[in-house]
Each structure stands twice: as structure tokens, then as C-alpha cells.
Chains A and B, each alone.
Chain A
């Protein structure tokens, strides 16, 4: 071997250790999914896990989970260090919080941090976050006027000291939430997953004979920093503005973005964005940072793993008490409704700097709703009628990309999954009558926007329900890019034809269904430039109607009839 063998060899060892740490946090996340109780964690993957050095710098984060926790998790451990103090940290400690501003944006996210000790010395931290289904208060929804109505607040504190879990804290939590077993089960699952990570870290340190993580931390952070800065430096310095208007709760909201690419970093500022909403759709800055940063990373440095150094060059700011930098005590329970829209707003600016890179606007916000079912009250309910809370996650269509159609009924930017209908119908007395693609909902264009979906839900015979809607794009559909057309807007109504609102809790009487059509993504480029083969395929599959084929893509009646007939013969087109 050549000279510098020792250095070269240690580079190989560090490469192995970096891989290992990423595998450790993935495993930490898997342990959480397997032991968690809330559907939001175990079915939908609304969680995050990471490993940190003693200074609280994030070294690796699991890619399992959702982008909403990206920066929030990177910052969280710093807050724990400041609040708890190194001098009060002992082996066997576990810390906890659901502070929206020092955790991940709303009271429903529980963050648990565990210091890691090796040979009696403090060597780092493990942190994880999960969305639990209930934290008391009004219940999960947009209707609160301040954070105090949204549920129990747990400041940064010890969940366990030297291995002893705090009984008082547990009694307070149990006494304040609707599903105490489930909430405690999830909190223990969070502690367990950190433990799993810790054991694997210690094994690695023993294998490589490490006393501390400073060497590997420096290696990870330096390489990530160099790689990220290289990507940014490869872009020309430039500035651009973007904006997007969405429904909001009581009035429409304008999201305004100013982007500035400057040498080795990117500034993203939300000055000019609407102020706070009265209801719980406001966003703490950590969550704004997470989604804005996620959007930029996807477009500029997608394959660089998340850690303190790879996130640092993305600087996200917003004026205080704008809707994207809500301060205490603003209500923030549904901060995701606005947060999920931020990437589209950021892309409206970035498209001016980096053409042919970012997608058209899409559904953005997940099309979620929570159903509180109970025995009917208008008449005598049958004896077997019960109460239940049923939460579902669903997706509209994503925006068309410069060279690919948008994705049908697929979450973007959120990273969560939907729940199987058969599983949902086992959790409570509800029937989902329809869950399928929505024809003609993707914006026409050279590349078509992704299709939204139809959903219909009712309670079982003998029940009525409150329907808590968390939908947007009712009045503001996803716009196309470069001449592409808009996707279809959200539609929500009752089966008797009465109109329902996109947000807030609404009563649905016995025998009524809620009928929804979730939005499609915007198209990309002029529809006239679309490959006719793709139009044929879309028509054969019923992604578009004959009307659209004729109006937007100029197909003749004869051509349309031939395709429809071929499709009826089951020909794959």
C-alpha cells in the first residue's frame, strides 16, 4: 500500500461507520413502527428518528418517516441540552416534550430524547418523534382559538431519571387524553426505539474501538458540508420570488417566498406571507423550515443524507406572527395543512432560477379527515352502537414533472401512507363506499397532473358522526406550470346535496354519506404538445374523458370512438 496507509484505512473505516449509523437510525425507526399504537405512526409512518453527538448536532436521520420532522429534529436536541443541562444528565435518563416550538410543530408530536453513555461517559443522544392520535383538548382538528385548547402541553422534562420512569407525569398524561393506554404505549415505544439505537451504537463503538464520536462526527459533517456547498456553488447566484394562494380557514392565505442563492448557501424568506389565522392552522417556524428545506433539498441535493451540516446551508426565515412563523400561544394543531403547501410555493420561486427541474403545483396538503362516530341521537340507537375515533390519511394528485406525468393519488410532499379500507373498517363503525381515482382531475398539459381521488364515507346503520375536515384546494386548485392547466379542485358535500366546508368539525346525521373528490395536480407544458400515445392511453384507462381528449388534446370523435372501443375489448394501449 502507498504512503498514508493509516489515513486511507481510517477513511475506509469511517465510510463503514457512516453507513452503520444510517442503518442504526433506520432500525430505530423500524422498532418504533413495530411497537407504536397510533395508526398515524404504525400505518402511516408519521415519525422520525436520529442520532446526535454530545453537542446536539444531528449525525444521521432515518429516511423512513415524513419530511415534516427534518429540521425540527435537527434542532430539537439543542433545546433539550439547554433546558436540562449536561450536569443533570445521567445514564438511564429519558427526556420528553411536545412543545410545538422546541419539538416538531404541534402538541400531537411527542419527541423523546435519550442520552447515550458508553463506559460511563456521555457520547451522544438518540432522538425520535411520533404523531399520536390524541393529546386531549378539543381533539385533532382546526377549531381551537389558542394552543391551550389543543391539548396537554408537556414542557421539556425528564420522562425517566436513571432508569426510573416518572409516575406523576404518567398520571397527568393519562388523566388528560382520550386514549390513555394508547398514548402511554406510544411514549414507551419512543423510549424503546431510542434504546434499540443506543445498543447498536455501543456495539459499533466497541467494534471500532471508539471512545467518543468526535472523529466520525467530524468526518460525516465535513463531507456532507462539502457536498452540499458544492451543489449550491454549482448554481449561479440569483434571486427570485414566488407566491401561491390557498384556502386557509376563515380567509384565503397568501404564501410569499423570496429565494436567494448566494455562493455557499440559500436564503428562503417568507416576508409578505399572510398573518396568523384565528384557527389552528398556524405553523411554528421549525415546521416551515422543515418543508421549505425539504423542497430545496429535493431539487438541489437529493441524495445527501440529512444531518446538521447538510441542512445548515439552507437558511429559512419568516416574519414573526406570519402564518408560517406563529408564536405561542397561536393554535397550531393542523400546521401540516399549510406546511404541506410550502414546497409548491418555494418551487414557484425556484422554477425561475432552475428551469425544468421542479414539478407543477399538486394537491400538496394530505386529504385527511377524522370521524367521531357515536350512536344516533335522533332516534333510539340499536344496543350494539358504539363510539369511535377514526382517522384516515389520503392523497390527491401530485404536480406534473418536466419529463414525467404527476403521480396519481400519491402523497407529496408528505411521506405518509394511506390505511387499508379493510383495516379502517375494523377500527370503528364506518363504511367507506368509494376510494378510487378521479377521472379528469389531473391538469392537462404536455405532462399531465396526477389524478386525485373520490372517497365516500358513512357511519354504519344506527350511528351518526362528526366529520372533522382538514382539506384545502377547494377554492384554489393546483396551478399548472409552463402552460399546463390547473388540476381539479377539492369538492366536499353530503349525499343529500348540502355543501360542506373544507375545514372544521361538521355534523353528519344518521343515514347521510360524505362525498368527497380530492384535488388533482397541475399540468406541465402546453396540452397541444402532449404525446398522442399518452392521450390515447389516458383515454383508454379512463384517466381522462372523451370531452377532455377532444377539448384539450384535439382528438377527433372518430379517433376517440376507436380508442374507447379498443379499451372495451380490454386492449392495453
Chain B
């Protein structure tokens, strides 16, 4: 990492651009509205604001780390460049035919999402590589030249090349690039064997097409950003957050922009991982809830779980299969349509349903008083007493409880014969249950039991729901860190330089070839290290090795981590033991007498995550805030009695209303205890403490919520 002590993290989100400036130990942050037409403007604006707050010059900044939803949005909104795909003869429609299935079984009017490129922008070459990597039909250079001559005047800015089995043998794709460089020197080129060298043509072709599609846009944006920053006097390296939770150089980002997809949420996971490290927690569930969605991620041993494929741009109620698959290394999270703005209705079974439709900011939930007539999660939160109508968003938005009640009664209460409070209770329980179910399924899919996990909650709506979620999941401890509102941008500053290289190479344990493995992993390591070196010439680089294994004949692999010795001195018996141990912990029993195969190999090169200062956990032996008039040891001068306020809060676990203490987060001192039921308020959010929980403020500003003993 660079040595300058002033670093800036920038997260461009859908609504806000968050900027955090870290000067030594101190953080200065701001949120400015995202400027869609020229996103760099919001960054410059935000940078000026935080520099002013910190009283430093832009030229003092030593490093900028940037994450953005621009890549994701360009894919969702189809705002990419004019792009062509060159593919194998006979397979022109792979990206259009998808899995040939319907993601919703009961909708007779279902429409399948359109591919990124229409059919007339997809071209074929007479060539074929087989499943062993041999050229069954060698590619003739004249054929490539003839094809490119026929399309070169059509004005394509970007070309994707995706040929069958190119993850085994890239020669044909490379030949196409050569000819393109010769005949269409201005076109940007993306090869599937480089962007996503993995088996399964639909995922690989779609990924290379997505990369090509957004490449001109992202390259131009990154260029403008660099220029503008320079004009402002900034004279430091700019790095990009990638979806795998690490950072890469601006050049690598421009070459592989698809790796920037979901970089904001990845920053959130890194943020949570950093808090986990501070507290020495090995099992953490991060919970990020904003206005329209909630994201849940498992963080084990202070490292977010990663995956090789995920889906963007879901078109049908966030339903699995309704988006497009992108196969790149990515932090594995579940995202569901549950946020503060998610709207509720009653379905045919007289069941309350919440989301994924969202009220957005216009008209917003009914309580905003801007014409919203349907109840949103925020309306339920208000009626249940979780929010203070006079102090929402630091008092900048006046909330109208009557509107919320009316919406709840009209849409839910009248049908279900419930009053507004019960309807609010039902709505909140349904959305909390949806999130809890998503977390449970995600945990089970990963063979984890959430009972021994700690939750870390951030994002505007998360602290309102995290306490109840913990009750539902049997999670005994919850941390709500300071700066939760700009968590992703802070996360960027905690991310290491990293790059994961992977490749599909089949091998059975019964035909184990240690030399091939050694060579392959060494090659992948070299490739991954090269990317990290381009960011930092002398940092220590750690390599993490993984083999994706399954019983021969199964379709799902388990990622098995290998240490350096296991990777570079591979042994079949050890591989079997490692795999079976994981399999048993996931599914209960091993399958006897079955061969095991490895399908994908991966090496992640990363700089070490920065050492964190462990937090000395205060146990809150002091006095409870609000409940007693005595002063706590940590705040000898403060008497909360003066500030003691209560409000009525509905406690869903008890099924009735209780009187809850109201505490300002600002007023809490280190080690101070708050007994539930309580609400701890701050400008950006409110922490709801159910009757079953108590909270202690830790020395780093975290609110540490635990089950009462």
C-alpha cells in the first residue's frame, strides 16, 4: 500500500455518491447525489467537500479507491456500446437460448429477457475445438479476414470473441484478435478465454459479451475521471474496487470492466470483514439493507465468501434465472427485494406480501406525504414506533404517521380485518421473515449454522430490522458499526490489492497428475500476481489456492482451499480427505466408493489485509443508559436522566407494545449499557433494541447488541 496517510474512498451508488476521506485515524464523509450524465462530477464535488471538512488539499491525497454501480447500471439499462460477437459456427444463439427453461413456472405470459446483442450482431466462424482442447476444425486466417472485412464498416466499437472450449485452447480466439488488431485497430476486443476461462458456454459467452458491451463506456469514464482529478490537483494513483472484494489498477479495470459489477456491495462486505477482524470474530453474517434491497453475506475467518458466478439485471421480481449470468470471481451474497421502500399488498391467499416493488424516493412511502398510498416497510416501522416522525434523516424529512396508518388500513387492514398496528406488525414480520429465510437458505447452502454467528448491520434500514432478524435466526450478537451509512466506501479503504485467476481443467483423483497441477497452479499464480504487481511493485503477495471438487457425476462443486504445500506438492489422498471433510459437514455423509473429480482451479493473489487494532471489548458493567439515574463509570459527568425519554414500541417477539427508552447514539459513552426495549437514534438511522436484547457502546463507536443473559 502507498505510504501517504490521506486516502479517499468513493462509492457511486444508484442514488448517492459516498465519499470518505481518511486522514490518519480520522474520517470525513459526505453523500452527494449521483450525477448520471457525468458521474465524475459528483466525485469532484464530494472530494471538495471532504477536503474542506478535513482542511486538506486534493493534492495531499495519497490514494483513491473507487467502486461504482455504473457497470451494473449500464447492463441493466442496456446503455452499452455497439458490440459484435464472433462465435463458433452452429452456436450463434447461445446467449439467446440461455438454459431453455422458464424461471417462473406458472406465468403463461412469461417473457424471457433479451440477450445483450441481437442476432444480427452475432457472427460465426467455421472452426471447432473439442472437449480435450484439440482443434477438430482448425481456424483458417482467411476465414477470419473475410468475416472481419464484411463487418468492419458497420461501426462496431467493441468486439467480443467467444468460441467453444476456448477455456482449454485459446489459440483460435487469439488468432481472431490478431486479425482484428490488423483490420479494425480502433475496436476494443474482449476474448472469453481471458475474461472468463471457465466451462459452460452460456455463462462464458454472456460474460465476454457483457465485458465488451460496457468496455468503451467504462474506459471513457475512467479516462475522464483521471483527467478531472488531475485538473483538481490530485496527483496519486487511482484504483478500482472489483466484485471479488479486492482492488485492481485503473488499467486492469478498463480492460476487464465486467469485474467492476457489484463492486459497491463488495465494499460493504469488506467493511464488515474489517469490523469482524477488529473484534476477532470468525463467523459473521453481514446484513446491508437500504431503500430497495437487502444483501446478506457470510464472512468466515474475516474473509467474505466468494463464488465463481452470479446473476445481474434480474428482470422478474429478483427471481433466480431471470437475469444474466456473469462468471467472474465475486463475493457471494444473496440480494432480495426488501428495503425501506418495499411495498406491501395482500395476495389471493389473504397473505401479506412485501416487495420487491419499491416506492423509491418518489412518491416514497406513504409517511413521506408525497402522495404514496400503499404501505411500505418504512410505514410499518413508523407505526410500530421504531422511527420518530420528527427526527427522520436528522429531521430533514417530516414523517406523517396518519398517512402510514391510512395506507396500512386501506391496503392490508380492511382485507384481513386488522387494525393499523396489527397490519404494521404483520408487514414487518413478513419482510423480516423473508430476509431471515434468505439468510437461512444461504447458510444451509454453505453448510453453516447461524446460531454461532455474529451479525454486522449497516445501510440505512438495517439497524431497524437487525434486532428482530437476530431473534428469528437465533443470533445472539449484533454489531452496528459507526459510519454504517457509508460502509461500502469505508470498505474500499480496507480492501487489499487482489486478483483471482481461474481455469477449467478436468481431472479425476483416479487419474491424478501432480505435475500438471503444479504447472497449472504456478501459471495461474503468475497471472494473478502480475495484476497485483501492476498496482504495487514491492508489496508482499500471498497466494490462495482453490480446487473445485465433486463426486464424479455430480453437477455442483465444493470449493476446497489448499495451502501452498497441498497446492504445489499435490497428493490425491490429501485432496480426497479435504473434499470429504467438507462434504460431510455440508450434507451429513460421504458417498462411499465414488471417484472424485476436479473441474476448476483458482489462485487468488492478494496483498495481506491490513492489520487491525483489536478492540478491547467492554462488557458494559456500567449502568444502563436511560433506565437508571446513576452515572456510568465511563461517563462520570453525564446524567442521562435529564435526557430520559421513552416512546411506545411494538415488540414482535412479545406480540405487544412496550415502553422503550430513547437514547441518542451521540450521547452514549464507551462501555455504557442500554437495556432493551430501547431505540438508539442517530441522523442516518435508528437502532431498534428489542426487549430481549441489551447494547453496549464499544470504544470504536460500535453498538454491540447481545441477548440478555
Residues of A with Cβ closer than 8 Å to B?
1-2, 5, 8-9, 11-12, 15-16, 18-20, 23, 26-27, 30-31, 33-39, 42-43, 45, 63, 67, 181-182, 185, 188, 192, 195-196, 200, 207, 223-224, 226-227, 230-231, 297-299, 301-305, 357-359, 393-395, 401, 403-404, 407-412, 415-418, 420-423, 425-426, 431-437, 453-454, 456, 460, 540-543, 567-573
Answer whether residue B506 sits at the interface, using C-beta atoms and an 8 A cutoff: yes
Q: Give CA–CA (A299, B109) in the complex, Å.
A: 10
Task: Give the total number of A-B pairs whose CB atoms are below 8 A apart.
Answer: 245
Q: Report B-chain residues with C-beta under 8 Å of the C-beta of A454.
A: 90
Q: Give CA–CA (A542, B587) in the complex, Å.
A: 48
CB-CB nearest in chain B for A12: B426
**A469 smallest CB distance to B (angstroms):** 18
Pair A420/B202 contact, Cβ less than 8 Å: yes
Pair B106/A303 contact, Cβ less than 8 Å: yes
Pair A437/B96 contact, Cβ less than 8 Å: yes
Q: Report A-chain residues with C-beta under 8 Å of the C-beta of B422.
A: 1-2, 5, 8-9, 12
Pair B109/A541 contact, Cβ less than 8 Å: no
Answer whether residue B24 sits at the interface, using C-beta atoms and an 8 A cutoff: no
Q: Report B-chain residues with C-beta under 8 Å of the C-beta of A456.
A: 90
Answer whether residue B430 sits at the interface, using C-beta atoms and an 8 A cutoff: yes
Q: Give CA–CA (A31, B447) in the complex, Å.
A: 10
Additional A-B contact list (17), CB under 8 Å, known A19-B437, A195-B588, A436-B93:
A16-B429, A35-B556, A200-B440, A231-B348, A303-B348, A305-B349, A401-B108, A411-B101, A415-B105, A432-B90, A435-B91, A456-B90, A541-B118, A569-B153, A570-B82, A570-B151, A572-B120
Answer whether residue B708 sits at the interface, using C-beta atoms and an 8 A cutoff: no
Pair A542/B165 contact, Cβ less than 8 Å: no
Q: Report A-chain residues with C-beta under 8 Å of the C-beta of B349.
A: 223-224, 226-227, 304-305
Pair B151/A37 contact, Cβ less than 8 Å: no
Pair B350/A227 contact, Cβ less than 8 Å: yes
**A307 smallest CB distance to B (angstroms):** 10
Q: Give CA–CA (A540, B119) in the complex, Å.
A: 8
Q: Give CA–CA (A535, B655) in the complex, Å.
A: 59
Pair A1/B100 contact, Cβ less than 8 Å: no
Interface residues of B in 66-111 (CB under 8 A from A): 82, 84, 89-94, 96-97, 99-102, 105-111
Q: Report A-chain residues with C-beta under 8 Å of the C-beta of B347.
A: 303
**A26 smallest CB distance to B (angstroms):** 7
Q: Give CA–CA (A230, B553) in the complex, Å.
A: 47
Pair A15/B351 contact, Cβ less than 8 Å: yes
CB-CB nearest in chain B for A43: B555
CB-CB nearest in chain A for B150: A568
CB-CB nearest in chain A for B90: A434
Pair A422/B154 contact, Cβ less than 8 Å: no
Pair A403/B553 contact, Cβ less than 8 Å: no
Q: A302-B108, A410-B112, A570-B82 are in contact. Are A35 and B101 (CB under 8 A)?
A: no
**B301 smallest CB distance to A (angstroms):** 23
Question: Interface residue count for B (Cβ, 8 Å)?
Answer: 80
Q: A8-B422, A36-B554, A37-B553 are in contact. Are A416 and B101 (CB under 8 A)?
A: yes
**A398 smallest CB distance to B (angstroms):** 9
- Could you pull out 7 A-B pairs where Cβ atoms are within 8 angstroms? A5-B655, A19-B351, A19-B433, A227-B349, A298-B106, A570-B154, A570-B156
Pair B551/A411 contact, Cβ less than 8 Å: no
Pair B440/A568 contact, Cβ less than 8 Å: no
Q: Report B-chain residues with C-beta under 8 Å of the C-beta of A460.
A: 130
Q: Give CA–CA (A42, B554) in the complex, Å.
A: 7
**Interface hub of B351, B421, B554 (most chain A Cβ within 10 A):** B554
Q: Give CA–CA (A11, B346) in the complex, Å.
A: 13
**Interface hub of A12, A23, A185, A298 (most chain B Cβ within 10 A):** A12
**10 interchain residue pairs of minimum CB distance:** A42-B555, A434-B90, A541-B119, A302-B106, A425-B131, A567-B120, A417-B99, A37-B553, A418-B100, A23-B437
Pair A407/B120 contact, Cβ less than 8 Å: no
Q: Give CA–CA (A472, B107) in the complex, Å.
A: 25
Pair A181/B593 contact, Cβ less than 8 Å: yes
CB-CB nearest in chain A for B106: A302
Pair B418/A302 contact, Cβ less than 8 Å: no
- Pick the contact of B120: A34, A435, A570 (CB < 8 A): A570
CB-CB nearest in chain B for A65: B105
Q: Give CA–CA (A542, B124) in the complex, Å.
A: 14
**B211 smallest CB distance to A (angstroms):** 18
Q: Give CA–CA (A45, B164) in the complex, Å.
A: 24
Pair A423/B348 contact, Cβ less than 8 Å: no
Q: Give CA–CA (A56, B175) in the complex, Å.
A: 63
Pair A181/B110 contact, Cβ less than 8 Å: no
Pair A185/B594 contact, Cβ less than 8 Å: yes
Q: Give CA–CA (A543, B96) in the complex, Å.
A: 12
Q: Report B-chain residues with C-beta under 8 Å of the C-beta of A207.
A: 472
**B180 smallest CB distance to A (angstroms):** 15
Q: Give CA–CA (A195, B419) in the complex, Å.
A: 40
Q: Give CA–CA (A263, B102) in the complex, Å.
A: 32
Answer whether residue B578 sits at the interface, using C-beta atoms and an 8 A cutoff: no
Q: A12-B426, A572-B121 are in contact. Are A421 and B416 (CB under 8 A)?
A: no
Could you mark each residue 533-574 of chain B with 1 if its beta carbon is under 8 Å from any beta carbon of chain A, else 0? 000000000000000000101111000000000000000000
Q: Report A-chain residues with C-beta under 8 Å of the C-beta of B418.
A: 8, 11
Answer whether residue B657 sits at the interface, using C-beta atoms and an 8 A cutoff: yes
Pair A436/B433 contact, Cβ less than 8 Å: no
**A59 smallest CB distance to B (angstroms):** 13
Q: Give CA–CA (A2, B413) in the complex, Å.
A: 12
Answer whether residue B616 sits at the interface, using C-beta atoms and an 8 A cutoff: no
Q: Report B-chain residues with C-beta under 8 Å of the C-beta of A403.
A: 109
Q: Report A-chain residues with C-beta under 8 Å of the C-beta of B102.
A: 407, 410-412, 415
**A160 smallest CB distance to B (angstroms):** 12
Q: A30-B441, A426-B506 are in contact. Are A568 and B154 (CB under 8 A)?
A: yes
Q: Report B-chain residues with C-beta under 8 Å of the C-beta of A196.
A: 444
- Pick the contact of B84: A411, A540, A570 (CB < 8 A): A570
CB-CB nearest in chain B for A203: B474
Q: Report B-chain residues with C-beta under 8 Å of the C-beta of A570.
A: 82, 84, 120-121, 151, 154-156
**B433 smallest CB distance to A (angstroms):** 5
- Pick the contact of A422: B99, B118, B131 (CB < 8 A): B131
Q: Report A-chain residues with C-beta under 8 Å of the C-beta of B350.
A: 223, 226-227
**A23 smallest CB distance to B (angstroms):** 4
Interface residues of B in 598-655 (CB under 8 A from A): 655
Q: Give CA–CA (A33, B557) in the complex, Å.
A: 11
**B65 smallest CB distance to A (angstroms):** 36
CB-CB nearest in chain A for B506: A426
Q: Report B-chain residues with C-beta under 8 Å of the C-beta of A357.
A: 108
Pair B657/A394 contact, Cβ less than 8 Å: no
Answer whether residue B199 sits at the interface, using C-beta atoms and an 8 A cutoff: yes
CB-CB nearest in chain B for A410: B100
Q: A19-B434, A403-B109 are in contact. Are A437 and B97 (CB under 8 A)?
A: yes
Q: A435-B91, A569-B154 are in contact. Are A302 and B107 (CB under 8 A)?
A: yes
